[in-house]
Amino acid sequence: MTATETIPTERIALTLADMAVVDADVHVNDTPGALAPYCDLPWRLSLQALDGASYPYLQVPGFAPNLRLDPPIPGSHPYRSVDTAAEMRAELSELEIDVGILFPDHMLTFAALPNIDYATALAQAYNRWLMEEWLLKQPGLYGVMLASPQNPEAAAREIERYAKVEKIVGIYLPTAGVNPLWGHRLYDPIMAAADASGLPVCLHSVTLVSPAFPCQLDQFENHFGRQVLSHSFAMMANLTSLIHSGVPARFPNLRVVFTEAGIAWVPYMMWRMDKYFNEYRRMVPFLEKRPSEYIKERMWFATQPIEEPDNPKDLVATIDLLGGPERVLFASDWPHHDFDHPRTIMKLPMPAAAKRQIMGENALALFGISAPVGKL
């Protein structure tokens, strides 16, 4: 089914209560003090030393590195975090979200940490903390475990450790500032472990000023310019990296999710990669199919921040161009100030079946989650 098929009259009044709603991108407050009890020595002492200090959002030295270049502007959107599983469950229920897939906050900039031993211990601490303090405390909360790009062999062992844990449904690949990009063969142990586990890998970026490609954000005078490019450029570069080194061909069971970059960039990248695949295919002999075919078969794209064209039909057409509603996952980015309410997708001029796929059915199947009682 395409997203542009005729809307059945009897389904026009479809509501969130009529379907399973799965949020593919929800953020937890992973502070140094919270993770410290779960971290091995000697690095636990580092987290304890950072605990209690007042740092701006995503600017904790040695924990959430980020170079912020803008002066504070009074009246700007406040940053907000959720501290407990009970609070998260209550807030998601208020938004009529049945299932939340939990990502970190501060660990969004994890790839920029240079100390390999410290990064390894911190990733393991985060995964333990996520299980004990969030996933086991409330129903409808699932998580993606953190794979450390600094230590692919240790990350592969973490994947094997959590592969059969019911509440772990994916593998988070930190994308902001990752260097080299995720298609590099350095990360083959992570991709191989993910391929064997059946867990999808989930790339998630954030605006991070660092010397790493894909974009030199330090050249822009204000956060407007940096925010416009950061998320989508990071995903475009990493998607190209995955394809150009043959990751989908070399790991035939691997499934990939791209979060917090919107979706409108995807058709452009499909067309561009197919064009150069036809021209330079002898350089990528390991690709057995066009890049767009790998994308349409084994890649998914989360909606937030959803694009808002003047004509909503243009967004619906974009969904069809990237492979149809079956390739799209609803995401809110809760509790951040720029989150997308579930009603955002419900307002689009699409048939009920397409909305059901995007709002929950796709995620339930991809992440192997049972439908909530009374839904579907």
Q: What is the pLDDT of residues 108-153, one digit of tens each?
A: 999 999 999 999 999 999 999 999 999 999 999 999 999 999 999 9
Structure tokens of 150? 């600094």
CB 206 within 8 A of CB 231: yes
Residue 11: predicted pLDDT: 45
Residue 214: predicted pLDDT: 66
Q: H helices of 163-321, where?
A: 188-197, 223-244, 247-250, 265-280, 291-298, 312-321
Is it the case that residue 216 has pLDDT exceeding 90? no
Q: Which fold has domain 17-367?
A: TIM Barrel (3.20.20)
Q: What DSSP designation does 350 have?
A: -
Closest CA to 64 of 174, 225, 224: 174
| 223 vs 372, higher pLDDT | 372
Count Cβ atoms within 10 A of the Cβ of residue 192 and give its class: 0-12 exposed, 13-18 middle, 19 or more buried: middle
Residues 68 and 70: their CA atoms lie apart, in Å, by 6
Residue 58: predicted pLDDT: 78
Residue 232: predicted pLDDT: 84
Q: What is the pLDDT of residues 232-268, one digit of tens each?
A: 888 999 999 999 999 999 999 999 999 999 999 999 9
- Domain ranges within the chain, ordered by starting residue: 17-367
Residue 353: predicted pLDDT: 95
The DSSP-derived string for 193-234 is HHHHHTPPEEEE------S-TT--GGGSSSHHHHHHHHHHHH
Residues 348 and 71: their CA atoms lie apart, in Å, by 37
Calculate mean pLDDT across residues 71-91.
88
DSSP strand pairing (141-146 vs 168-174) = parallel
Residues 350 and 3: their CA atoms lie apart, in Å, by 5
Q: What is the pLDDT of residues 365-374, one digit of tens each?
A: 999 999 988 7
The chain-wide mean pLDDT, for the chain, equals 92
Helices 312-321, 265-280: inter-axial angle, 10-degree rounding? 30
Q: What is the pLDDT of residues 280-294, one digit of tens each?
A: 999 999 999 999 999
